[in-house]
Amino acid sequence: MKKVVFVINSLTGGGAERIMTRLLGNSTAEAQGAELHLILLDVEPAAYPVPPSIIVHQLDTKGSLIGGLVPLWRKINTLAPDICVSFLTRSNLLSILICRLKGIRCVISERVNTTSHHPHNAAGYMARFLTYVGYRHANRVIAVSSGIAKDLSENYAVPIANISAIPNPIDGEMIRRNGDVPVDLPYARPLIVGMGRLVPNKNFAMLIEAFGLFGASGTLLIMGEGPLLADLQRQANELGLAKQVIFAGFRENPFSVIKSADCYVLPSNGEGFPNGLVEAMCLGTPVISTNCHSGPSEILDDRPYFPVESATECKYGLLVPTNDAASLAEAMKLALQPGQQRDRRTLALEGARRYALDATIKQYWQAIRG
């Protein structure tokens, strides 16, 4: 293994992008002297720094799958890597096609539960079809949870022998160090925090509705950017929560805010491995999550997906049904009961210890090398 190329759409502020840079930044030992390159398909502002040892190549495919084929082919042809590693569906599909034709080992990482993540429209059906056609031809598929591995095997014909279920690498030391940075939060308590892209699948609309049902005089602080900002602001206004719901945008260091919070909530309809949930646990913040099909039940209860009908106590936090504002409001009341904060913080920290950075990076490179 002399040269490894990593491919991702961009390094905008998202979970996959953060994990890509974390993997690259902690791979010196495992890469064993190999030359590492990073190809960015789109010209977008970078939210995360790339280590100086990584050679970065910037393309401009403008978000197009078809438009990305020739530029990426040319770049991979020039670099002639031994292995190609890609994150996110568009990058994965392009990498599989090019590597298959050129005889290069192709390792892809699937970050979401494909069946539940893509919308039920023409674009979503096309994404599922291309996943079905393409993913089985990767040499190795890294699924970030066992739920994703099961979905790919059962619904997309990916041979189970070709799938490695590996959680995202979580840099607990970095998270705790950034969590200790002082932050000014002049908001009424209790302070409930959520974080993620403001897009339909993250379902912050349900979180705002649940906060209204919760009925406390506290604050809901949402960190993230996205196309639904105006809609969510309007919803908060209509519910009479304009002064209590704070839209904080993207924060380079969200960890000091999360550590200072009384509770962290993940309201998504679909996830792969929700980084923010584990990061909140690393900071000892009590956590609540919707029970989407991949990730949360494994993180909070050491179990593959199992159905829940109401707010459910787990080993390390609370699970609620997806798209169920009443159950989420009930979970908020449970999580914020007086006298329970210390115990819930202890459980969160205990659960986070299962995601050690060095061990996870080692697993990634075992899958990359084959």
Report the distance separating Cα 191 and Cα 120, nearest Å.
35
Check pLDDT > 80 for residue 118: no
Check pLDDT > 80 for residue 352: yes
- Could you tell me how many residues make up the chain? 370
Name, in order, each residue with C-beta under 8 angstroms of 161's C-beta and a sequence gap of 6 or more. none
Looking only at the bridges linking them, the beta strands covering 191-195 and 318-320 are unpaired
Name, in order, each residue with C-beta under 8 angstroms of 43's C-beta and a sequence gap of 6 or more. 10, 58, 60
pLDDT at residue number 109? 95
The DSSP letter of residue 367 is H
Check pLDDT > 80 for residue 113: no
**Could you read off the pLDDT of 277-322 as tens digits, one per residue?**
999 999 999 999 999 988 899 999 999 889 999 999 999 999 999 9
Average pLDDT over residues 156-177: 93
Q: 13: pLDDT confidence band, cut at 50, 70 and 90?
A: confident
Find tokens 């494994």 and name the residue: 298
pLDDT at residue number 340? 87
pLDDT at residue number 18? 87
Q: 271: pLDDT confidence band, cut at 50, 70 and 90?
A: confident
Name, in order, each residue with C-beta under 8 angstroms of 78's C-beta and a sequence gap of 6 or more. none
Q: 104: pLDDT confidence band, cut at 50, 70 and 90?
A: very high
Q: 125: pLDDT confidence band, cut at 50, 70 and 90?
A: confident
**Could you read off the pLDDT of 226-268 as tens digits, one per residue?**
999 999 999 999 999 999 999 999 998 999 999 999 999 999 9
Report the distance separating Cα 222 and Cα 15, nearest Å.
16
Check pLDDT > 80 for residue 119: no
Q: 156: pLDDT confidence band, cut at 50, 70 and 90?
A: very high
pLDDT at residue number 33? 86
Q: Which whole-number Å values give the CA distances from 65 to 6, 9, 46, 62, 81, in the listed order? A: 17, 10, 20, 9, 21
pLDDT at residue number 121? 84
pLDDT at residue number 356? 85
The DSSP letter of residue 63 is T
Neighbours of 78 (CB within 10 A): 8
Percent of the chain with pLDDT over 90: 79
Report the distance separating Cα 41 and Cα 18, nearest Å.
16
Check pLDDT > 80 for residue 117: no
Report the distance separating Cα 338 and Cα 122, nearest Å.
48
Which residue has better confidence, 38 or 129? 38
pLDDT at residue number 273? 85
CA 188-274-13 angle, 5° bins: 75
Find tokens 């292995």 and name the residue: 83
- Identify the bridge partners of residue 42 per DSSP, sorted by sequence position: none
- Mean pLDDT lowest for which of 11-20, 70-79, 91-100? 11-20
Domains, the chain, with CATH or none:
3-169+356-369 (3.40.50.2000), 172-352 (3.40.50.2000)
Q: Which whole-number Å values give the CA distances from 128 to 135, 151, 179, 199, in the listed order? A: 10, 12, 38, 19
> What's the whole-number average pLDDT of the chain?
94
- Identify the bridge partners of residue 194 per DSSP, sorted by sequence position: 222
Check pLDDT > 90 for residue 216: no
